[in-house]
Amino acid sequence: MAADFVIAPMPVVSVPVAGQKARFPVHRIYCVGRNYEEHAKEMGFTGREPPFFFMKPNDAVVVVDADQTGTMPYPTLTKNLHHEIELVVAIGTGGKNISAADADKHIYGYAVGLDMTRRDLQGDMKKQGRPWDIGKSFDQSAPIGPIVPKAEAGDIVNAEISIQVGGTDRQRSNVSKLIWNIGETIEHLSAAWELQPGDLIFTGTPEGVAAVVSGDTMVGEIAGLPKLTVKVA
């Protein structure tokens, strides 16, 4: 017998899979901080520090189909909304204490994502030693394009990653410049949490993070994956 609930349960959050009708159900969203050296420098840090993580709620995703322009509202409370273009890893098989060498077996596929950030609020929280949630984990803070199964995604570890705003380059780098590569990231993450099928990992952003305003259109690209186009309403 189906369970009864006192309020309507939340629907399953899901992301389209390129070339398929079946969708990818989203469990948790993990994000890696400062995982490209030039971005770490622009944020006032240097060197290879151990990876660190924060989360976004799974219903923060803004799902954008291929060849469509998604919309995210300009969020409340901020005057400095930043784009962070990121490679997203979709976990197909869970596990804990996964070694970097075994990590590939746990990956379902990849997508282009945006770790949208209320930078002013994040900065205030950093100064006060408080959690980043209000800066990072707000509603609709995680636009994402379709997930491409890993076998169809090409040479993702050497893929160019970029974002343009209004047709002008803002960030342009290469996934090969990750400080902690995908396998190492999964090793560290799965030592701290048991990964589950459906988890997404935003792997970090390269240098060039900057503000967008209402009316801007962001076009994120990672070679081998569908573009992610999002307009700030």
Nearer to Mn ion, 40 or 91 (CB): 40
Q: How far is the CB of 6 from Mn ion (least distance, A)?
A: 37
Per CB under 5 A, residues contacting Mn ion are 84, 115, 205
Nearer to Mn ion, 115 or 199 (CB): 115
Residue with tokens 């209320």: 118
By beta-carbon distance, which residue lies closest to Mn ion?
A: 115
Q: How far is the CB of 80 from Mn ion (least distance, A)?
A: 15
14 vs 185: CA distance, rounded Å: 23
CA dihedral sign of residues 191, 192, 194, 195 = negative
Candidates 10, 16, 6; CA nearest to 66 is 16
Q: Which two tokens stand for residue 59?
A: 């219903």
Q: How far is the CB of 29 from Mn ion (least distance, A)?
A: 11
Q: Which two tokens stand for residue 135?
A: 């800066």
Q: How far is the CB of 105 from Mn ion (least distance, A)?
A: 25
Nearer to Mn ion, 78 or 205 (CB): 205
Angle at 198 (CA atoms; ends 195, 199), nearest 5 degrees: 50
Nearer to Mn ion, 75 or 149 (CB): 75
Candidates 88, 108, 105; CA nearest to 35 is 88
Nearer to Mn ion, 17 or 40 (CB): 40
Q: How far is the CB of 144 from Mn ion (least distance, A)?
A: 13
* Angstrom distances, CA of residue 210 to CA of 132, 170, 213, 228: 18, 7, 10, 17
55 vs 226: CA distance, rounded Å: 24
